[in-house]
Amino acid sequence: MFWLYLFFLDVESLDKSTTGSSPVETPTSTIIPPSLTVTIIQPSAGAISNSSTLLSDDATPTIQITGVQVGDIIKIYTGGDCHSGSEIYSEVISSNGTQNITLSSSLIDGSYTFAAEITSGSSSAVPQCLNSISPSTYIVDTQLPTIDSISPLTLNSLTGGTISLNGSHFVAGATVLVGGVECTNPVLNSGMKLTCIAPPYLDSTQSIIVSKPMGTSAS
């Protein structure tokens, strides 16, 4: 009877812990699958980038999302957050795998951080917010390049030489024409300084034109 009595108490205690008036709820959390990644695709031209910032004159960037499934709902937000940011794009995914999303509305010039909200096609799915988008900052600059100063102002007409242009809104892939002839080996030091090698055999005063890859130019 001693051993039977102990067994009875154990069952009764277990029963009380599982049949109370307030059932214990199992905590739930939204886990973002490791295969889901969001990346801003760098344009083939007209962009300056590093590990955290992409400067471009493309006002409708393409955002690549991997790991999505048919029926998933994708929303893109500016402001770097799905809750406080502004929704700028929404789409229902029609195929599995990788999706390239090009924004349908142009962004105005400025600095942006993006976030992507992904909701599974299941009606009970919890939206998942991805704030880790690479690069973290996207800067749109669609302004015409301007030239404020040129150094040196004179060159040997037989040899040409290196010239430095100071101004604003210079981008990678820009071309420089001196007297209608392309300046070689252009090097972009920043959005405000550009150097290149002016061609020889140019006489008198020549015009200098800087053109962006997207077709905008200034002299």
pLDDT band at 216 (very low <50, low <70, confident <90, very high): low
> Given 2.60.40.10, 3.20.20.70, 3.30.930.10, 3.30.420.10, which CATH number is that of 146-218?
2.60.40.10
Cβ neighbours of residue 68 under 8 Å, at least 6 residues apart? 36, 74, 93, 96, 97, 98, 99, 118
Give per-residue pLDDT as tens, 48-62.
Answer: 777 788 888 889 999
What is the edge-to-edge ordering of all strands in the sheet holding 86-92?
Answer: 86-92, 73-78, 114-119, 128-130
pLDDT given for residue 214 in this prediction: 64
pLDDT given for residue 46 in this prediction: 64
What are the start and end residues of each CATH 2.60.40.10 domain in the chain?
Answer: 37-140, 146-218
What is 37-140's CATH topology?
Immunoglobulin-like (2.60.40)
pLDDT above 90 as % of the chain = 29
Give per-residue pLDDT as tens, 22-56.
Answer: 444 444 444 444 467 889 887 766 677 777 888 88
What whole-number distance in Å separates Cα of residue 42 and Cα of residue 56?
8
pLDDT given for residue 195 in this prediction: 93
Number of other CB atoms surrounding residue 4 within 10 Å: 7
H or E segment and range at residue 181: strand 181-182
Give per-residue pLDDT as tens, 108-124.
Answer: 999 999 999 999 876 67
